[in-house]
Structure 1
């Protein structure tokens, strides 16, 4: 397996999907010095036929969006940045079968052993036939659950426990439908919703945490997850509306990989719209805190130093940019579903094209 990227050879890239993350990824590819945007796949009819530059706030670049995978295959790109809301196995297999590498922010491919067996079999076979590779990454899971832990573990000879805490202050998010209707803020506690969040976290983060454990020669006995909420102590006005006292104002979901019956590597997501809660959760500003107990114990705080008014414009880059920076390394890798531990650290090329 190659341990390097493809040097300064220009790689021909297709962006697949233009949601918040995909739009930021699209812009980053256009501005990248050694990536050439050759295609754009979209899901909305209203976006089809429009110039890729215009769809991400840049001048026209001469690449038109399409809703046809046949158009994408005809381009014969080196890589597709695959960022849809859900994975379509048929589309992925057609891309890989055609020898097109894939970098994705979808979470299904962090650890082959935990994939749906039928999906894994199809993807493995397509990679083999096409000589292509696929890699899942992003900020979380990805950067904070794999890249950072593996770096911290490089100075350990014993791991007792590693836990990652993620904090998301959502009070400046002006999205009533997402916060109130989808996430359940400002509503009465709902144990079924708590269990659903925990199950989602288990599926999304469990494989990533297990991949780190297995990379350092350890194994999980099981993966457990649970969710809980805290309530507002008083009526609180946020950008999306009002959160009444006694309703959900903070949500926490935790997933733990167990070894010998005890948590070994875990992740806790903390989402909140106020810190005036009926429980003491030690909530912090947006970012991550990692606690590592071993023979070289560490605690690491990573804060997002983004002003609230700039969050919407900035935060998609945390996920999109890592995927863009992975392209050269995934294109240079051996065929198959590639794990973070099998790839070198992603070193970005920060030169600006034309500048």
Structure 2
């Protein structure tokens, strides 16, 4: 079997885990890794393990293109989702025009391309894909897997009153204070707005999944609502990145709703805490982290995906990244075999992993994310 040649663009958490997950497979081979600046000249295997893989990280784009890869794993980290389009888009176009297929978790707004707010951007990607006879596929843990799970749950429904997809996470194990503060407002005073609190940002991230579910059920979304609530710590809270002082934000509730035929019909709700006892009136998981789909209707249905080992909550952050990576890495053979264009999980077969029952030699014993100072994007 001729292996598909794969490159990884980015050497942060997603990129490092992707390098590990590409090892030992029968149908794919890692041939290159690109990074903006840090980690250049380092063996890419050391990003996520202590085992070299023989691929050295470069910051030279032309070196990546010269490798003639079949597919690129886009793993650039752009914290502000409204800036992600321009950063990722330039890479997407360059790769697609050169005939390189792309799988990405860096742009959740492309999980269901027809829902993207900027259809001129989607058309530009489509034109690049047609020019290069290549395919672009966006997915991840959420958006991505949760939308898929919600649609799967509806196959057991007769009638539906409301579908709610929850992400219920305790984020106290996350080591990156900047990511938590900028995106969510954690460890900030409540009056300081977070990125996800800004009007329109929630729709950029979760509007697509809402439209996707409605569209698959045969409906049009009439309007959206965005809700962002915060709760402050009533005591100092010790977390992985330091101490959240009393009076600073330690829990957030993000709720994005789609209205169909005059009523709230499809909802994405995130409840994220830095300790288990804050905001007890909000929805809570029985573990450190889970994704849950609830359907109110005939019949009532609940499906839950628990993340990680319940006895090792410190691994939650890592396992969340890992699930995001595998949603795109496992899709590589299917994307490379797909018709050219911008596609989605609704067009691809079920993206089951290749060589999944191989030796666990590529696993890691201690699944803890490295501090961001040790990584670059």
TM-score normalized by the length of structure 1: 0.88
Q: Work out whether residues 15 and 22 of structure 1, in 8 Å CA contact, stay in contact via their aligned partners in 2.
A: yes
Give the superposition deviation at 1:199: 3.4
Q: Tell whether 2:33 aligns with 1:40.
A: yes
Give the superposition deviation at 1:63: 2.3
Q: Tell whether 2:284 aligns with 1:280.
A: no
Q: 1:182/1:211 Cα in 2 relative to 1: closer, same or farther (>3 Å)? A: closer
The residue number in structure 2 matching 1:352 is: 358
Q: Work out whether residues 230 and 250 of structure 1, in 8 Å CA contact, stay in contact via their aligned partners in 2.
A: yes
The residue number in structure 2 matching 1:129 is: 131
Give the superposition deviation at 1:91: 2.2
The residue number in structure 2 matching 1:3 is: none
Q: Give 3-state SS (helix, strand or coil) of 1:26's partner.
A: helix
Q: Work out whether residues 251 and 279 of structure 2, in 8 Å CA contact, stay in contact via their aligned partners in 1.
A: no
Report which stretch shifted further, 152-161 or 180-189: 180-189
Report which stretch shifted further, 344-353 or 103-112: 344-353
Show structure 1 runs of 5+ residues with no match: 1-7
Give the superposition deviation at 1:67: 1.8
CA distance in 2, matches of 1:40, 1:11: 15
The residue number in structure 2 matching 1:5 is: none
CA distance in 2, matches of 1:12, 1:223: 42
Q: Tell whether 2:328 aligns with 1:328.
A: no
CA distance in 1, matches of 2:21, 2:228: 35
Superposed counterparts of 1:233-272, under 5 Å = 233-272=234-273
CA distance in 1, matches of 2:6, 2:14: 16
Superposed counterparts of 1:30-179, under 5 Å = 30-44=23-37, 46-85=38-77, 86=84, 87-106=87-106, 107-113=108-114, 114-145=116-147, 147-179=148-180
Q: 1:326/1:241 Cα in 2 relative to 1: closer, same or farther (>3 Å)? A: same
Superposed counterparts of 1:286-325, under 5 Å = 286-306=289-309, 307-325=312-330
Q: 1:201/1:50 Cα in 2 relative to 1: closer, same or farther (>3 Å)? A: same
Give the superposition deviation at 1:117: 3.0
Show structure 2 runs of 5+ residues with no match: 78-83, 362-377
TM-score normalized by the length of structure 2: 0.83
Q: Give 3-state SS (helix, strand or coil) of 1:337's partner.
A: strand
Q: 1:73/1:157 Cα in 2 relative to 1: closer, same or farther (>3 Å)? A: farther
Give the superposition deviation at 1:303: 1.9
CA distance in 2, matches of 1:180, 1:89: 26
Q: Work out whether residues 130 and 340 of structure 2, in 8 Å CA contact, stay in contact via their aligned partners in 1.
A: yes
State the Cα RMSD in Å.
2.5
